[in-house]
Amino acid sequence: MSKSKIAVICLIAWITIAAAFSQDYQNGYNDAWGDRKNHFLYTFNKDYHEGYLAARKEIEQMKPVADTLRQAKYEAGQTMDQMMVMLMEARKELEKRGWIAPSNQPAPPAGAGGGFSPFLSPSFLVAADFNSSEKQNNLGGDYGIWVSNPSDSRAWISFSFARDDAFGDPSGHALQLDYGFDSATENQIGFWMKLNGVNVTSHKWLSFYVKGDLKTGYPKSIRIVLKDQSGQPASFSVSGITDQWKKFTVPLSAFSDVKDWSSLGELDIVVDTKGTKPESGRIFLDHFSFSKE
C-alpha cells in the first residue's frame, strides 16, 4: 500500500475519532449542565416552598395576635365610652353637690363671697375640704389647735391629714384630730380654722362630715363654734357621731350670737372634757361648706 493511501486512512480515522470524542464531550456537557440546572431548580423550588410554608406558618401564628389586637382595640373603645359616661355622671354629681357650676352656667369668679374659692358654685361655698393636705383651707385661712387650760398636762390634741375622704375620693384627704384628757377635769380642747372674712350673708346652712375611729374610740358629740370679726363666739352642739361618715347640716340661725355674717373670722371644733368618754380617741372631719339652700 502506498504511503499516500496510508496517510488518507489515518486522516479519516483521526477525523472519526475526533468527531466521536467531540460528540461524547458535548453529550457529557449537556448531561452535566442539565443535572446542575435540574438540581438548581429543585433546590430553588424546595427553598421557595419551604420559605412559603414558613411564611404561611408565621402568618397563621400572627393571626391570633392580630385578632387579640383587634379585640383590645374594640375593648379600649368600649372603655373610653364607659369612661366618658362615668365622667359625665361625675360632673353631674359635682354639680349636684355644688362643687362646680352647672355646665349651662358660667363659673363664678374666684373670690366671690369674700374669700379664695377654688370650689364655688352659685349656691355653695366650700370652706375646707383638706384635700391639699396643707395647712391652709379653701378660703386661704390657717388653722391649728388649742387647749383652754394649758397647765393641764393630761389634756392634749393634735391634727393631721388622713387619706379618708368623706366622698370616697381615693386622692382626697380628711382632717384627723387625735386627743387625750382627764374627764374628771373641766377643760376644753379644740381645733381652730380662720375663715378670712368670708361673706355668707346670702347663705343659710353650715354642712360638714364627721366620723369616729372605732379602734381608738371617739366622742359622741362635739361643739361647732363660729366667730365674726369681733371674736364673739356662737356655738352649736352636734351629737350622734358614729364610726361611719355622717353629714351634719346646721342652720346658721342656730349661731345667734354672730352679728356680722358679711365677715366671718373663725370656725372652731371643740371637745368638752368634763364627763366625756373615752378620755382619748380620734375623730375625722371633712368638707365644711356654706350653702344657700
**pLDDT tens across 33-63, in order?**
566 656 555 565 666 666 666 767 776 776 6
pLDDT in tens, 128-160: 999 998 989 999 999 999 998 888 888 899 999
Q: What is the distance between the alpha carbons of residues 9 and 26, in angstroms, rounded to a whole number?
A: 26
Instruction: From residue 198, give the alpha-carbon distance in Å to each of 37, 64, 125, 293.
Output: 99, 63, 10, 18
> Residue 137: its pLDDT value, please?
94
Nearest by Cα to 12 from 271, 20, 152: 20
Q: What is the DSSP letter of 176?
A: E
- Mean pLDDT, to the nearest integer, of 240-264? 95
Name the percent of the chain lying above pLDDT 70.
Answer: 61
- Mean pLDDT, to the nearest integer, of 211-236? 94
Residue given cell 359635682 in the structure block: 94
Q: What is the distance between the alpha carbons of residues 262 and 264, in angstroms, rounded to a whole number?
A: 7
CATH number of 124-291: 2.60.120.430
> Residue 117: its pLDDT value, please?
36
Query: What pTM did the predictor assign?
Result: 0.60
Q: Decide if 270 contacts 223 (C-beta within 8 A).
A: yes
Is the pLDDT assigned to residue 7 strictly greater than 70?
Answer: no
> Residue 290: its pLDDT value, please?
95
Question: If you average pLDDT over every residue of the chain, what do you get?
Answer: 78
